[in-house]
Amino acid sequence: MPSKTSNDELNRQLADRYAEIARLVGGLVHEIKNPLSTIRLNMELLAEDFRDSDSARDRRAIKKVELVQQECRRLQNLLDDFLQFAKAHRLDLQPNDLGVQVRQVLDFYRPQAGKAGVEIVDYLAGDLPIVLLDREAFRGALLNLVLNAEQAMPGGGQLVVRTYGTADGVALDLIDTGGGMDEETRSKVFDAFFSTKRGGSGLGLPTARRIIEGHGGQVRLQSAPGRGTQVTIALPVLPRLPADGNPT
Ligand SMILES: Nc1ncnc2c1ncn2[C@@H]1O[C@H](COP(=O)(O)OP(=O)(O)OP(=O)(O)O)[C@@H](O)[C@H]1O
Ligand SMILES: [Mg+2]
C-alpha cells in the first residue's frame, strides 16, 4: 500500500499537471477571444454602414451581419463560461456564515426575481455552525443554481431557499416550482456542455459542482417532470481537503 507521503506527492503532481493544462486552456481561450472581438467590432461597423439603406439587398445583408454578431456573442459567452469552469480554482477558504452568504446572493438577485415573476421564500436558520467558504466562488455557484431555477419557471413561480444543520455540517436547499426533469436529463446535467436550453453553455451545474466539491461539500439533485426541482448543497464543518488545501 502506498505511504501517505507518496499519495500526497501524487496528488500534488496531479494538481500541478491540472494547473498547467488549465493555464494552457486559458491561453488558448484568450487567443480565440481576441480575434473574435475584432470580428464582432467590424460586424458592428458593417451593420452601421447598411443601417439606413432602403435597398432589399442591403436589408438582406444586414440580416446576415446580425446573425454573425449573434453567433459571436454566443461564442464569447461560451468562452467566458468555459474559462470559469476550467480554471484551477485556488479557493480562499475562510470561516463564514452560510446564511449571510445566501442572503447576499438573494438580495442581489431579488430585483431580477421580481421582473421574472419568481417569488423567493426563504427560511434561513440563524444559529448554524461556521463553515469554510470562498465567498466569491460560493456566491457565483449559488447564483448559477438560482438562475437555473428561474429559467425552469418561464412563467414565474416560487423559489424556496432554506438552510439547516446536518450531522457533520450545514446544508442549503433550493426548491423551484418549475418544469422539473426526466430521469435521462437528470443523469446528464453534471456533464460539461449538456444543456436543454437554446444558447445555454451547459457549464453552470458542472462549474457549481466543482466549486462545492472544492469546499469538501456535495451537490445533490432531486427532480421529476412537472414537479419542480430541489438542489441541495451540503457543506461539512470540517472539510477533508488534500494536503495543499485545494482539491480543484
Ligand atoms: N432547476 C432546474 N429545473 C429544471 N432543469 C434544470 C434545472 N437546473 C438545471 N436543469 C437542466 O440541467 C441542464 C444543465 O444546466 P446547466 O446550468 O449546467 O447549463 P444551462 O443552464 O443549460 O446553461 P448555462 O448555465 O451555461 O446558461 C439545463 O439545460 C436544464 O436542462
Ligand atoms: Mg445554468
Residue 188: domain span: 94-236
User: Which of 68, 86, 104 is at the close of a domain?
Assistant: 86
| Residues 51 and 169 grouped into a single domain | no
| Residues 115 and 162 grouped into a single domain | yes
How far does residue 127's CA lie from ligand 1's centre (Å)?
32
Q: Would you state the pLDDT for residue 247?
A: 46
| Residues 153 and 75 grouped into a single domain | no
| Residues 151 and 225 grouped into a single domain | yes
Domain count, the chain: 2
Q: Would you state the pLDDT for residue 188?
A: 97
For residue 56, with 0-12 CB atoms within 10 Å meaning exposed, 13-18 middle and 19 or more buried, which class applies? exposed
What pLDDT digit, counting tens, does each position of 64-104 carry? 999 999 999 999 999 988 888 887 667 899 999 999 999 99
Let me know if residue 28 belongs to a domain.
yes
Question: Domain with 57 in it: what CATH number?
Answer: 1.10.287
**Residue with the nearest Cα to atom 29 of ligand 1?**
195
Q: Would you state the pLDDT for residue 103?
A: 97
| Residues 77 and 116 grouped into a single domain | no
| Residues 229 and 119 grouped into a single domain | yes
| Residues 115 and 212 grouped into a single domain | yes
User: Which of 62, 86, 110 is at the close of a domain?
Assistant: 86
Which residues make Cβ contacts (< 8 Å) with residue 229, sequence separation at least 6? Answer: 149, 152, 175, 176, 178, 180, 181, 221, 222, 223
Residue showing cell 444543520: 165
Helix 204-214 vs helix 56-86: angle between axes, to the nearest 10 degrees? 20
Binning pLDDT at 50, 70 and 90, where does residue 248 land?
Answer: very low
Q: Is the pLDDT of residue 1 over 70?
A: no
Q: Is 21 or 175 the better-scoring residue by pLDDT?
A: 175
How far does residue 146's CA lie from ligand 1's centre (Å)?
10
| Residues 104 and 21 grouped into a single domain | no
Grid cell for residue 146 = 438560482
| Residues 207 and 163 grouped into a single domain | yes
User: Relative to the CA of 77, which ligand 1 atom is closest?
Assistant: 26
Residue 205 and residue 188: Cα distance in Å, rounded?
10
How far does residue 216's CA lie from ligand 1's centre (Å)?
23
Q: Do 55 and 9 contact (CB within 8 A), yes or no?
A: no
Helix (H, G, I), strand (E, B) or coil at 101: helix
| Residues 136 and 227 grouped into a single domain | yes
| Residues 146 and 166 grouped into a single domain | yes
**Residue with the nearest Cα to atom 20 of ligand 1?**
202
What pLDDT digit, counting tens, does each position of 171-181 carry? 999 999 999 99
Q: Do 119 and 153 contact (CB within 8 A), yes or no?
A: no
Grid cell for residue 47 = 451593420
Ligand 1 interacting residues, C-beta cut-off 6 A: 81, 148-149, 152, 176, 178-181, 185, 189, 194-197, 200-206, 229
Q: What is the pTM of this model?
A: 0.83
Helices (H) and strands (E) in the chain, counts: 6, 7
| Residues 64 and 169 grouped into a single domain | no
User: Which of 61, 86, 111 is at the close of a domain?
Assistant: 86
